[in-house]
Amino acid sequence: MTSLVPTSEDTVIYEFCVLYPSNLSQKEEQILLKGIDEIFAEAEGKQIAKDAWGRRGLAYPIKKHTEGNFIVLYYEMDPAKMKEVDRQLRILPNVLRHLMVKPPKGYEMVKYSQAFEQWQKDKVTAVETKRKEEETKLQRKVVEKAKRDAKRTEVKKEAKKKEVTSTLEEADLSKKLDELISDDTLGL
């Protein structure tokens, strides 16, 4: 972030945004950008920063173009020369739109390209974090299911043991009853 402070009291820092067609050849684009630089050189403007946003879609068609390239320029210049710069930008070929703004006091310039890169990194980090959270959640579910299955298996084993034990007890009891019934000494 760069704070915009003019170097003298006679000058003001302006932010210019220029929109031009995205389908220009490289040579045409260089000629256009050179023309823009010449306009500001004639107005004795001092370039502070240049931020090329690149190709972006437009909210509505402008001169039958649905996409355009944006470039944001910061110039320090005499306010009296603004009308001439505006007039020259209006008649410069291949400029679809332009906007001139005097940033408020305390305005800090942030390059869109850097902010976009940071946003992309943050987005990737957020996606990775979400993926890791989902993975951890899934691992917890798998562990919980494995514990439930292990407990069910243990309960089934205990039930089989009891069943086998009760079957053995019944068999022993039947045997003992048969022995008692068949025992002649008891006299039953």
pLDDT per residue over 147-160, tens digit each?
988 888 888 888 87
Which stretches of 88-181 are assigned E, i.e. beta strand?
A: 97-101, 108-109
Q: What would the mean pLDDT of 34-59 be, rounded to a whole number?
A: 89
CB 13 within 8 A of CB 75: yes
- Please report the pLDDT score of residue 110 as a whole number: 73
pLDDT of residue 1: 53
Task: Give me the helix-helix angle, 26-42 and 82-91, nearest 10°.
Answer: 160
User: How far does the chain reach from its first CA to its final CA, in angstroms?
Assistant: 109
- Give every CB contact of residue 13 below 8 A, 6+ residues apart in sequence: 4, 5, 6, 48, 74, 75, 76, 102, 103
Question: What is the domain partition of the chain in residue ranges?
Answer: 2-110, 111-188
Tell me the backbone φ, ψ of residue 177, rounded to 5 degrees.
Answer: -65, -45
Query: pLDDT value at position 55?
Result: 87
User: 168 pLDDT exceeds 70?
Assistant: no
Best CATH choice for the domain 2-110 from the list 3.30.110.30, 3.30.70.60, 1.10.10.10, 3.30.2130.10: 3.30.70.60
pTM summary value: 0.58
User: What is the predicted pLDDT for the residue at 170?
Assistant: 73
- Which range has the worst mean pLDDT, 35-39, 107-111, 183-187? 183-187
Residue type, 132: K
pLDDT tens column, 80-109: 998 999 999 999 989 999 999 988 887 777
Model pLDDT, residue 135 = 92
